[in-house]
Structures are given as C-alpha cells and as structure tokens.
Structure 1
Amino acid sequence: MTRRSSLRSLIALTTVILAGCSTEQIDGQSNPESTPASSAVRLPRHVDHSDRPQVHFDPCLDIPDSAIVEAGFDPASEENADFTPDEYTFLGCTYDTPQRLYGLNVLSGNISFEEERQKVQTTQKNTRPIEINGRPALLEFDSGKPDVCAISMETSSGFVIIDRNLFKGTGAHTPESEWCAGLEDTARIFERYIPKEG
C-alpha cells in the first residue's frame, strides 16, 4: 500500500467514525446546537489556531496519481511537505520526475492570495500576473535563485503554490529561459482539481 493510499484510507476511516457519532444527549433528546457531520465534507488534516479559513483542498489527497503522471512526475516519489505552524496552514506533497531531473512541491494554504501577491512583489525580481484555466495566478522567479520557478493560484481559502526545481546534475545552471518552461502546463493540469469558487 502506498503512502497516498494509506493516508486516504485513514482520512476515510476518520470521516466515517465522525459521521457515525451521535448528536443525542444523555436524556435522549437531540441537541439543537449540533449539526450532523456530512459525508461529503472531509475534515482537513490540520487546523491551525488562527481565524483563517480551513484548508480543504489537499494536494496529497485531491490530485489523483493520473494527474501527477500526466504532468510528468512519479506518484511513487511522493513525500509529505506539510507546514503547519499555529498561525497558518500549508498542506502539501513533493514529487520527482522518473529521471529525477525536476523536483516539484505542491502546497495549499490559507494565507490570502493578496498577502502572497504583496510578498512576492517585494521579494521576487521577476513576478507577473497570469491566469491558469481562468483562475488568478502569479508566475514567480528570481534571477538570483537559479533553476527555480513557481506559480501561485488563488483559492477560496488562500492559494496553492506549485514550486519546481531543476536538477541538471552537472553543477551548471540551466538558462533562465528554461526555469519556468512548461510549468504553466503543469499548473493547468492540477488546477482542474481545485474547487471553483461559490
């Protein structure tokens, strides 16, 4: 059983257990303040201590292996990349290409897209607004950090970032024109699985 299927099984079991919990009080009367758990809503794997929205889009669970393969990466290389301090949440996984030429991080967080936009405008030397399947996004790279490119896409809870590294294996950097080549295609594949607004 792969790490991904083990994690999915654990989430499904937890959801079933919680959905089966009774909302009745000891005297047999229903508690009007309790709402039954919906089997259609999965509990996030982590909830921080902030007032930010919960992160329901989970790349590790919501992007199928077929999409990972379509993007040119190996689902068997998946490793957890969650970042979960008290103030915000990022759920995510990393992947490699079968030839280990590229490494990919896919993280879904509850820091707002506007916060991300402001941050990259002050820290990245090369940032431009784009759209991925009609969704507002940012293409982000820095000439001072070779072989790295990222795309951030707005979501209802914040943003999803797809961050790719190139591993040429020779010790030499690739030309800057290659850093982001094809990353928008990868983002278009993964965006299909991010829930649409409203």
Structure 2
Amino acid sequence: MFDPCTWIDDATLSKLGYAPESRARSLADIHGEYTFLSCEYKSPDSVYSLNIMSGNRTMAEGRAKFTSDGDQIQDTTIDGRQAMIVREKAGDFCSVVVQDKVGYIDFDRSIASFLITSGPVPERCSGIVDLVKEILPRVGNN
C-alpha cells in the first residue's frame, strides 16, 4: 500500500506549496476491516491543508460514502486511473479519489479561507487535479 508520509519527497512537497517539515501522521490512520495510511501537510502560511489517505476500500465503497454524505461527485480519469473529484458538502473541502491496485488514494484538501487576507478565495477544487498528477508518480504502479 502507498504510504503518503514516506513516499512523497520533500522537493515534490515544496514544489506544490506545502512545507515538508509539516509532515505528520494524521489521526485518520485506520486499522480494522479497512486499513488506511494517512499523512497531513500544511502550506507555510497554514491556508492549505492536504490530507492523503491510502486504503483498501473499493471505489464503489468510497462513492457510497461520499454519496451518503451528500457530496457532489464528478467522475474523471487522471493519468489513466479511474478517479472522482468530490466537492464535499462542507464548503472549504475538496477531495480527489484515485483508484490504485489495493483500493484508492484520497487526496483531501481544505482551505482556511479566513486566513486569506488579500485577494479572492480560490475555488476549493482549483488546481487539485494538477497537484494529484504531481504526486501520482511517487505512487508507482500500486
């Protein structure tokens, strides 16, 4: 299974605008019927938070969860992988869920819009697919 805390190098994180030193296991590590490894990153100004979870849940199970939560799902393909862009019911969250061999990887980004002091607040999913495309090579063929 892809480990988002150890397989993403510092250079990639910095290029994407996240502080490598913010790397931390998130409280979302889950072990039981399903196993999820997770890692959280923050931008240097703490406006953006990125939580990446890799787990053995199927895409159908992920879709059912997001649908039951009332989230908006847009099906897509990213670098040849089945994916979903999820605009979560909570206004400042956007997820991209990407199929892998074991299950899926969930890239969940939040924007602390109250910390933005100048300029408009970006659309919550703006640029997230490009971010995922930068990280997927670290995943390999998993």
- With the shorter chain as reference, the TM-score category is 0.7 to 0.9
Q: Is contact 1:106-1:162 (8 Å) kept?
A: yes
2:55 equivalent to 1:121: no
Give 1:85 deviation, angstroms: 2.9
TM alignment of 1:92-131, pairs within 5 A: 92-131=38-77
Deviations 1:73-132 (A, max 9, x none): 111011102522321111111000111110110110011122112322332331111111
1:72 to 17, 23, 26: 17
Give the percent of matched residue pairs that are identical in Structure 1 and Structure 2.
28
Give 1:170 deviation, angstroms: 5.4
Q: Which has the higher contact order (CA 8 A, sep 6+)?
A: 2
Structure 1 unaligned blocks of 5 or more: 1-55
Distance 1:139 1:93 in 2: 19
Alignment TM-score, normalising by the size of structure 1:
0.64
Structure 2 unaligned blocks of 5 or more: none
Q: Is contact 2:47-2:115 (8 Å) kept?
A: no
Alignment TM-score, normalising by the size of structure 2:
0.87
**Equivalent residue of 1:152, what SS?**
strand
Matched with 1:155 is 100
Q: Is contact 1:124-1:140 (8 Å) kept?
A: no
Give 1:192 deviation, angstroms: 1.2
Q: Post-superposition, which runs of at least 4 consecutive aligned residues in structure 1 deviate over 4 A?
A: none
Aligned-pair Cα RMSD in Å: 1.9
Deviations 1:48-95 (A, max 9, x none): xxxxxxxx2111111111111121111101110252232111111100
Name whichever structure is richer in strand by fraction.
2
Distance 2:22 2:15 in 1: 15
User: How many correspondences in the alignment?
Assistant: 138
Aligned AA for 2:47?
Answer: L
**Equivalent residue of 1:63, what SS?**
coil
Distance 2:105 2:22 in 1: 20
